[in-house]
Amino acid sequence: MIKNIAYAVFFAGLLPSVAFGSVAYTPSRPCNVVNNCFGPACQSAQYGYVPEIVNNDTDYAENRDFQQDYVEPEEYYAEVRDFQQDNVKKDEGPSEPWFSFGDDWYIGANVMMNMWSWKNKYDSNYAGVDIAFESDIYSFERVLGGSLAVGNIFDGGWRAELEVGMTSEFKDESEFATYTMAVPYLVANVYHDFDVGLYIGAGLGVARPETKMDLDLREAGAELSKFAEQSWTPKASIMFGYMWSFNDRFGVDFKYRLSGFKGNKMFGTFLWNQDTSNPVLEAYDLHIDNDFVVENTFSAGVRYKF
């Protein structure tokens, strides 16, 4: 009799579970990272995983397999920990732009629009020189140019580069004279990059202006006189610009530069018949002084980081 009563109580307690299913799951250990608990309830608390209601033996088996696979392995815990640390760093964001990280080398190429402003001063022992032709003033004369650069990136947003460039030839023609100037240069630049892509910089180097003056007095019975000079002169500049990156290695660079250098001094002689009644040509001196050249440069280019 007692045995039959025990069986009845046992089956009475089992029947609700079979009919309606179990609706709760309690992990075998406290739910925290220290105890390395990755069961469904712990996933619900930490990672947004919501366990399904267990209604049959298949769900019990799946949860049991889940526990066996993920509760014990230390490798899984290490992967989750690394994932969390990486996400924290990603959320904080880099303190500097991509092109300011580490000790990396880069190369760059630019096309330029240069605008020169300067004054040419003339001096001659020819008495017939009019006061109006003692000088020529040039303002924002446009010439094209190009440059190549190689640089190194340092920590803290700093980088340094060596730049070599060349301009096209400026030409000024008049009835009796043709003046030209082209300027190759070599400069060392230092920049500081900001995390929004903007940067500022300064440069110091040398320029080698190449200037020529041709006096064509053949219509007046004289000969063609040519003056030419090349010289090294210091060149200094300040820059600011913006770098727009396609990825972590390649980007487009837009820059403005204000710079200056000293022009050449040319000296020569020309033949001229000052006295029209005398057919003999006489030699006269001519001094040409290129004053300080102010250069405004707008450039666009590309930059590639190794």
At 172-181, the pLDDT tens digits run: 998 888 999 9
How many CA atoms are closer than 13 Å to the CA of 248, on its beta-carbon side?
6
Distance of CA 293 to CAs 2, 50, 183, 210, 234, Å? Answer: 116, 73, 11, 13, 11
Q: Are 288 and 121 in contact (CB under 8 A)?
A: yes
pLDDT in tens, 109-157: 999 999 999 999 888 887 665 544 678 899 999 999 999 999 999 888 8
Cα separation, 154 vs 33, in Å, equals 39
More confidently predicted of 270 and 10: 270
Query: Exposed/middle/buried for 273, CB within 10 Å: 0-12, 13-18, 19+?
Result: middle
- Using CA atoms, how far residue 17 sits from 23, 57, 65, in Å, is 9, 11, 21
CA end-to-end span of the chain: 88
User: 152-170: b or e for each residue (b if 16 or more CB lie within 10 Å)?
Assistant: ebeeebebebebebebeeb
Cα–Cα distance, 83 to 77 (Å, whole number): 10
Within 8 A by CB and 6+ apart from 187, the residues are 162, 163, 165, 203, 204, 205, 206, 235, 237
Strands 185-193 and 282-290: unpaired
- pLDDT of residue 34 exceeding 50, the answer is no
* Mean pLDDT of the chain, nearest integer: 77
Q: Give which of 41, 5, 43 is closest to 25, Cα–Cα.
A: 41
Q: Are the C-beta atoms of 140 and 95 separated by less than 8 Å?
A: no
Q: Where in the chain is the domain with CATH 2.40.160.20?
A: 98-305
The reported pLDDT for the residue numbered 195 is 84
| Mean pLDDT computed over 22-29 | 45
Count how many residues are written for the chain: 306
Put simply, whether the predicted model's pTM sits higher than 0.85 gets the answer: no
Which class is domain 98-305? Answer: mainly beta
Contact of 146 with 160, CB cutoff 8 Å = no
